[in-house]
RNA sequence: CGGGGUGUAGCUCAGCCUGGUAGAGCGCCAGCUUUGGGAGCUGGAUGUCGUAGGUUCGAAUCCUAUCGCCCCGACCA
């Protein structure tokens, strides 16, 4: 992609409405623009990151045995009356009347809809287990949206729902998501710590929040030092027993500030560290809370109808964009982990219009792209300083700096955005090195 | 929803107290010079001063109402 054709409205100054660093950088880097309080337009750069994150989430959900579906954003109020939540949910739920004066709503979550799908289409325990998920837009009419996409009213969420015949198997579904979450966040370069959580209004008796650690995170957390460096499980057999992995991770103390209990922490022992964090995922087991009132029954092995055991599992996909920036930035801008970067490589043509530079950039662009990497080439007729600043701001992991002096010597400069390390290399060496690094 | 702040050019903001007919920097357009870390000079375009009323000869400025946005608190992926 040539930057001269890419829609990338960067800002030199901080927009006054943005206070936290991720919000400022997302606006400055041309990723998003606010539409109204808590509702955002996603511009091309932001959309690319959002989709990269969604794809990692999707991949790990699929590996863990969940299946993707798409449910409506606009739901019928009838289902919510059936589950009893139509009155309980409160003004956070955006209620709408259609032209026939029927009660509709913009879905804040999808337990009712997915339970409805399930009950009409699954009749026997032999069809279990099932885990259905979607990556879709939700709307919660927050009293006070803030922090850019970190707490918007409209947000992209992965929500999965598991259905099992009994508690033990439902717990296995819960564990599958638990492990999948560890892997998902690690793939984005994040340290995410599972912490015991209240199950809140969704209900249930087993629940964990996944908190991403970032110095600028909104809430303080306390956790055992070991959790910070603990490697996530590899080559997971999701059909096998996952309980040892979950037990291992939950054996260390970890709590958010509100739930911090120094006495309990002391009992569990170990070196406690305090950090700051952002909640990016939340998993619940809630048994028959919805399957009972909504009659989501299957015939069990004993021939009797029984309500299924359910769990729900959320990841804030759009929030993750902000969380990743909170955890990966410096004074100059964003520093994307390679797995979610909008482009892998940025080429800076220091002298657009100079035939040697233009040719070198074109050759690099083509070769790097052929090796499967996304490239953004800054071919704008701008001064070098502007290009350096913008490239640092948008945070692509690698920069290839092409200038007339280097090209005359047959070299270009390769800069690592995170470390700042630079080296002069031949064009072939750059292409090889980038391909290996990716 | 309680408390606070703010709304003037695309962005950051001055002007408001003490009313006199719209400003700066950056950005944008044109030209010349410049060219490895957000250039210099010259010329140019851009505003219903959030909106609606009111006071006044005259309102960005004073008064009233209203809307938007931001921050702190209670709540949340």
User: Which nucleotide has the shortest C1'-to-CA distance from A381?
Assistant: B35
**Per-residue pLDDT tens digits for A188-239:** 999 999 998 765 555 456 889 999 988 878 788 888 989 989 999 999 999 9
Q: Which pLDDT score is estimated for A221?
A: 87
Round to a whole number and report the distance in Å from the CA of A38 to the C1' of B3: 21
User: Which nucleotide has the shortest C1'-to-CA distance from A144?
Assistant: B75
Q: How far apart are CA A188 and CA A169, in angstroms?
A: 29
Measured between its terminal Cα atoms, the distance across chain A in Å is 18
Mean pLDDT of A386-392: 96
**Is residue A154 scored above 60 in pLDDT?**
yes
Q: Which pLDDT score is estimated for A204?
A: 54
Mean pLDDT of A350-376: 95
Question: Across chain A, what does the average pLDDT equal?
Answer: 92
User: Which nucleotide has the shortest C1'-to-CA distance from A17?
Assistant: B70
**Is residue A255 scored above 60 in pLDDT?**
yes
**Per-residue pLDDT tens digits for A394-406:** 999 999 999 999 9
Report ipTM (2 d.p.): 0.92
**Per-residue pLDDT tens digits for A345-362:** 999 999 999 999 999 999
A254: nearest Cα among A358, A356, A182, A169:
A182
Q: What is the pTM of this model?
A: 0.95
Mapped onto helix, strand or coil, the DSSP state of residue A96 is strand
**Is residue A269 scored above 80 in pLDDT?**
no
Round to a whole number and report the distance in Å from the CA of A16 to the C1' of B60: 20
Give A111's pLDDT tier (boundaries 50, 70, 90). Answer: very high
Q: Of all residues in chain A, what percent carry a pLDDT higher than 70?
A: 98
User: Which nucleotide has the shortest C1'-to-CA distance from A282?
Assistant: B77
**Is residue A414 scored above 80 in pLDDT?**
yes
Q: Which pLDDT score is estimated for A410?
A: 94
Round to a whole number and report the distance in Å from the CA of A148 to the C1' of B19: 40
A394: nearest Cα among A28, A6, A48:
A28
Round to a whole number and report the distance in Å from the CA of A27 to the C1' of B44: 30
Top mean-pLDDT range of A43-52, A86-95, A137-146: A43-52
CA Rg value for chain A? 24
Using a CB cutoff of 8 Å and minimum separation of 24, what contacts does A241-249 make? A242/A172, A242/A175, A242/A176, A242/A178, A242/A179, A243/A171, A243/A175, A245/A175, A245/A178, A245/A179, A246/A175, A246/A178, A246/A179, A249/A178, A249/A182, A249/A194
Round to a whole number and report the distance in Å from the CA of A155 to the C1' of B72: 24
Domains, chain A, with CATH or none? 21-334 (3.30.930.10), 345-437 (3.40.50.800)
Q: Which pLDDT score is estimated for A201?
A: 52
Mean pLDDT of A320-338: 95
Q: Which pLDDT score is estimated for A199?
A: 56
B74: residue with closest CA to C1': A143
**Is residue A27 scored above 90 in pLDDT?**
yes
User: Which nucleotide has the shortest C1'-to-CA distance from A422?
Assistant: B36
Mean pLDDT of A127-136: 97
Which nucleotides in chain B lie closer than 7 A to a protein CB? 1-2, 11-13, 25-27, 34-39, 68-77
Report the half-sphere exposure of A344 (CA within 13 A, side-chain side). Answer: 16
Round to a whole number and report the distance in Å from the CA of A27 to the C1' of B49: 25
A29: nearest Cα among A344, A335, A423, A354:
A335
User: Which nucleotide has the shortest C1'-to-CA distance from A412?
Assistant: B36
Round to a whole number and report the distance in Å from the CA of A36 to the C1' of B9: 21
Top mean-pLDDT range of A48-52, A250-254, A354-358: A48-52
Do the bridges between strand A154-164 and strand A130-139 make them parallel or antiparallel, or are there none, so unpaired? Answer: antiparallel
């Amino acid at each position: 992609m040539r930057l001269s054709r890419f829609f990338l409205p960067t800002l030199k100054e901080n927009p006054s409405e943005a206070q936290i660093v991720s919000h400022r950088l997302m606006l400055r880097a041309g990723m998003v623009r606010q539409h109204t309080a808590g509702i955002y337009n996603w511009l091309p750069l932001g959309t690319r990151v959002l989709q990269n994150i969604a794809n990692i989430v999707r991949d790990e959900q699929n590996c863990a045995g969940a299946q993707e579906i798409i449910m409506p954003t606009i739901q019928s109020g009838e289902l919510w009356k059936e589950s009893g939540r139509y009155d309980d949910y409160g003004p956070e739920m955006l209620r709408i009347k259609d032209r026939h004066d029927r009660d509709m709503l913009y879905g804040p979550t999808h337990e009712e809809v997915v339970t409805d799908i399930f009950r009409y289409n699954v009749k026997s325990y032999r069809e279990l287990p099932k885990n259905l998920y979607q990556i879709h837009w939700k709307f919660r009419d927050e009293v006070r949206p803030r922090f850019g996409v970190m707490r918007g009213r409209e947000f992209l969420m992965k929500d999965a729902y598991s259905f099992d015949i009994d508690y033990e198997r439902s717990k296995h579904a819960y564990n599958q998501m638990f492990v999948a979450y560890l892997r998902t966040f690690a793939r984005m370069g994040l340290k995410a710590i599972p912490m015991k959580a209240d199950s809140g209004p969704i209900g249930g008796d087993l629940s964990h929040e996944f908190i991403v650690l970032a110095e600028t995170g909104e809430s303080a957390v306390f956790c055992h030092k070991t959790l910070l460096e603990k490697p996530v499980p590899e080559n997971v057999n999701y059909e096998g027993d996952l309980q040892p992995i979950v037990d291992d991770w939950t054996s260390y103390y970890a709590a958010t500030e509100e739930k911090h209990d120094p006495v309990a922490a002391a009992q569990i022992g170990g070196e406690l560290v305090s950090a700051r964090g952002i909640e990016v995922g939340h998993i619940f087991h809630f048994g028959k809370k919805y399957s009972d009132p909504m009659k989501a029954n299957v015939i069990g092995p004993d021939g009797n109808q029984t309500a299924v055991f359910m769990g729900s599992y959320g990841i804030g996909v759009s929030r993750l964009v902000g969380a990743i920036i909170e955890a990966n930035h410096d004074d100059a801008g964003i520093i994307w982990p390679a797995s979610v970067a909008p482009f892998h490589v940025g080429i800076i043509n220091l002298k657009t219009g100079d035939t040697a530079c233009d040719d070198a950039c074109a050759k690099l662009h083509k070769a790097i792209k052929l090796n499967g990497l996304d490239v953004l080439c800054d071919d704008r007729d701008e001064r070098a300083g502007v290009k350096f600043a913008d490239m640092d701001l948008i945070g692509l992991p690698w920069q290839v700096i092409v200038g007339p002096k280097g090209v005359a010597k047959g070299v270009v400069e390769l800069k690592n955005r995170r470390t700042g390390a630079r080296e002069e290399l031949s064009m072939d060496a750059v292409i090889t090195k980038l391909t290996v690094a990716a």
